[in-house]
Chains A and B, each alone.
Chain A
Amino acid sequence: MVEKKRYKLNRLETTRLIGPLVDRHWAELREAKERGEKVAWCSGPLFIFPYAMGMKCHFMAGYAAYCAGRKAGDQVLEAAEADGELMDTCSYHRLHTGMAAAILRGHPVKKEVILPIPDLLIIGRLCTEMAHYAEALHRRLGIPVVAVDFPPPRRKEDLPRLERFVVRQIKENLIPTLEKVCGKEFDEEGLRRILRVLKEAATIRNQCWEFFKLKPTPWTLWDYGVSIAPVFYMMGKPETVPYYKALLCELKERAEKKIPAILPDGEKYRLYWDGWLPWAFLGMFIRKFVSYGAVPICGRYPWEFFPHPEYIDPDADDVVQNWVELYYTKAQQAAVFMPEGALEEVTKLVEEYSIDGLVMFASRTCRAWNVGQQEIINEVERRLGVPGVVIEADMVDSRMVSEAQIETRLQALFETIDARRRRE
């Protein structure tokens, strides 16, 4: 029988500081048009370029996290369906078309999740559905689009030519379009400024990651998840560095005093989490984990955000090239998007962070990653003897989340880990 109801989550104090920072970011975006600023909506990792131009920019997945955090996800999805969207469509896509429907046709949704209609839609086609959302918004709202194909690499030898392709598209398509929309030359110094701050924030964040290696861990992947904005859509903002400094300080203190992330004495199971963070259900998942003494520690998605700040070179001769190299030949951030790269990354993370089990979160409306997930479990089990389960749910749509199914799969995982421990 799996042991239950003995553990309690011990939240970090610093993470309470993130709410106001994130709220300010979104408020600035909402009010940008009133201030006469240009606004872009962006999918994929390209938002650094409109930022460099001083544009306010929304990021597709970041908006989903924000919407979910505001408990407005289901409401916006309803607006999308009232406007003709089908339930099987990517819920990030539906959130955006739902928001557009709310603006165009007055479907009722919370005011704070309504964003201004942008001057430009930017596609970073790392995920093909990230392109479909902008195509749909173009058809419905007539907003201009600029697009960069951003193919995730299957093999290491593909990296250089994919990199050349992406660099060319940014220089030949994206930058000239931004210059036209903003009516000024591309602000290369602006890009360098953002990279400088990002490098510092990501470097401190990596120091924070080191604390995940401790047993018991002083923090959880969810703590990092809610702290992700500073190396993600808030990149380059000066307040991001003090945030991570405060986080590092608290983690050091916890480590010194041996204060664990879950009380009374830390975790029984250390978990790897695959897939998107379940933005609308973070609370539900962590309550379930903690009740079994389990803590999510790491995952390939949260590790996508500039895991190698040493490669960020704000003073590089060709700073655009340097930025693309982070995704391809140097830091290879785009590789984890394919199962071949993911398998290596998962194996590395499982070893580095002494993981006991894998939880593969398969989003029902997102087809990225889920075909390879079971095979990754099988391969990691063969390589390292670490078991895993697949949980089917969704990042936003509550109708696709079955707590009973999640409970059963988690129990099965923990019982497997227990049985193996007994044999050892």
Chain B
Amino acid sequence: MRAVENPYRTVYEWKERTGKKVVGCYPMWLPEELVHAAGLLPVVVWRSDEPVTVGHAYVQTFNCGLTRSFVDDAVRGKLNFIDGFVIYRTCLQAQELPFILERHVRPAYLEYLYLPAIFPGNATKDFLIEELERFKASLEKFAGREISDDDLRRSIEIYNENRRLLRRFYEFRRENPGILRAREVMAVVWSSMLVPKEEHSSWLRELLSELEGRHEELLKERRVKGDLKVVLTGALCQTPQFEILDMIEDLGMVVVDDDLYVGYKYFANDVELDGRRPLEALADRYLRRKPTCPTKGDWEMNWTDEVVDMVKRNDADGVISLLIKFCPPHLCYYPDIKRGLVQAGIPEVMIEVEHEIVSLEGVRTRLQSFAEALRRGA
């Protein structure tokens, strides 16, 4: 938990310890492996836990928490210790951020990538590879060293190893509901975005070994005492407040799985090398259609089906949608998820996640009535 309590301190300390330059990558699909292969320290940028203050003068209130908090951090100088940033068009809000960074943070390195929507056709893949080649060259210039195919393969293997461990960790949660708190699971994934992958994997191996070794004993303890199993969906780009996760559990619901960005989406797919050029393998991971991400513009994929599968796989009682307030890709998709789950007979409740929560009581009321409805249904 310590790593995510103060992400600024965590990243700063790793920068000091490794002597590497830090590059902040904007969520959700940047190929961090390229940054890593350049000998730099890639981190995924985060939403601060402080209310927006100075940033109000630069960004309207009807943008998502990450956008507003990131702009606030930028204009307050809180990001000045980060050496570089990479942003791409995750959404309309993200595409304007380099303009603010350039004026207020003036980082040594600022790259804006045109990662395309994953529309069918060869043009998309060719353009994506061309874009990754360009990104590679710009990183080489900044880092002052070449990125060889072997460097990149090594970084990909380090990242894949971390993903495999995270998937094992998630499997442990699925098989042993109630041992791990939802906030702890999220902290494990989030910390992977903040510390060097090698370190994270080494720590994760120890954690898994302890969990797997003591799982009988831990099962008896069952720290989360709930009679209902739920899965979480949504929360693109950023973390919801841990208090919301605690509240879910306090009301007797055990989180058994999720498809959140700071969750399953982050590590669902490996980069499959299979003897291919590593850059092409990175492109292929980006082009993977599952898990569905509404920022990628794949109109044929059905996110609802994946949520239904997750419910079935975990024998869950219901779904909690965490919708980041003012997140257009999720807003535009949500009515179809709701409708689809109703049709599938799966209970669902939507919780809007705001950056500055005015009152948690409203959230508690919604969750409480959802839990009661699940119990009545059961």
A-side residues, CB < 8 A to B, are 83-86, 88-90, 93, 97, 123, 125, 127-129, 131-136, 138-140, 145, 147-149, 151-152, 154-155, 158, 161-162, 165, 168-169, 172-173, 338-340, 343, 362, 364-375, 379, 390, 392
Contact = CB atoms under 8 A, between A and B. Distances in A.
Nearest to A400: B62
Interface string B107-126: 00000101011011111101
Interface string B328-348: 110111111011000000000
A172 B334 CA distance: 32
A352 to B, nearest CB: 23
A234 B125 CA distance: 34
A242 to B, nearest CB: 38
Contacts of A139: 299, 302, 336
A132 B333 contact: yes
Given A84-B339, A154-B112, A390-B60, A368 B123 contact: no
Contact of A364 (B62, B89, B325): B62
A84 B340 CA distance: 12
Interface stretch (B91-99, B148-156, B160-168, B283-291): B91-99
Contacts of B338: 84
Contact of B59 (A129, A136, A155, A371): A371
Contacts of A369: 96
Nearest to B59: A371
Nearest to B71: A371
A84 B350 CA distance: 12
B71 to A, nearest CB: 7
Contact of B336 (A129, A134, A140, A151): A140
Interface in B42-99: 57-60, 62-63, 67, 71, 89, 91-93, 95-99
B326 interface: yes
A379 B102 CA distance: 13
A123 B297 CA distance: 10
Interface string B225-240: 0000000000000000
Interface in B285-309: 294-295, 297-300, 302
B203 interface: no
Contacts of A84: 334-335, 338-339
B100 interface: yes
Contacts of A135: 294, 297-299, 332-333
Given A367-B326, A371-B67, A169 B123 contact: yes
Given A129-B328, A154-B98, A165-B123, A145 B299 contact: yes
Contacts of A390: 60
B103 A375 contact: yes
Nearest to B123: A168
Contacts of B298: 135
A370 to B, nearest CB: 5
Contacts of A131: 117, 297, 299
A155 B98 CA distance: 11
Contacts of A89: 328, 331-332
Contacts, number: 157
B121 A367 contact: no
A294 to B, nearest CB: 23
Given A338-B96, A367-B63, A125 B297 contact: yes
Contact of B92 (A86, A129, A134, A168): A129
A367 B116 contact: no
Contact of B89 (A133, A151, A365, A373): A151
A169 to B, nearest CB: 5
A289 B89 CA distance: 36
B114 A367 contact: no
B198 to A, nearest CB: 33
Given A367-B62, A367-B328, 19 more contacts: A88-B331, A97-B335, A127-B92, A129-B332, A132-B294, A136-B332, A136-B335, A136-B336, A138-B299, A145-B299, A147-B297, A158-B114, A343-B99, A362-B62, A370-B60, A371-B71, A372-B96, A374-B57, A392-B62
Contacts of A367: 62-63, 91-93, 326, 328
B206 interface: no
Contact of A86 (B112, B117, B294, B335): B335
Which 10 pairs of residues, A with B, have the shortest CB-CB distance? Answer: A132-B332, A84-B335, A371-B96, A339-B99, A168-B123, A135-B299, A367-B92, A89-B331, A165-B127, A147-B119
Contact of B332 (A93, A123, A148, A165): A93
Given A154-B98, A374-B58, A374-B59, A128 B335 contact: no
B130 interface: yes
Nearest to A97: B335
A145 B301 CA distance: 13
Nearest to B326: A88
A82 to B, nearest CB: 11
A128 B91 contact: yes
Contacts of A85: 335
Contacts of B91: 128, 367
A374 B56 CA distance: 10
Given A339-B99, A370-B60, A132 B328 contact: yes
Contacts of B328: 89-90, 128-129, 132, 367
A379 B95 CA distance: 19
A125 B326 contact: no
A207 B122 CA distance: 42
B335 A83 contact: yes
Contact of A169 (B60, B96, B119): B119
A365 to B, nearest CB: 8
Contacts of B114: 151, 158, 162
A372 B99 contact: yes
Residue from B96, B127, B294 having most chain A Cβ neighbours under 10 A: B96
19 contacts: A88-B331, A89-B328, A93-B332, A128-B297, A129-B92, A129-B328, A134-B299, A149-B117, A154-B98, A161-B127, A165-B127, A168-B126, A169-B123, A172-B123, A338-B95, A343-B99, A367-B326, A374-B59, A379-B103
B302 to A, nearest CB: 7
B346 to A, nearest CB: 16
Contacts of A365: 62
A371 B100 contact: yes
A97 B338 CA distance: 15
A155 B58 CA distance: 22
Contact of A161 (B130, B325, B329, B335): B130
Nearest to A152: B95
A165 B98 contact: no
B263 to A, nearest CB: 22
A86 B302 contact: no
Contacts of A373: 60
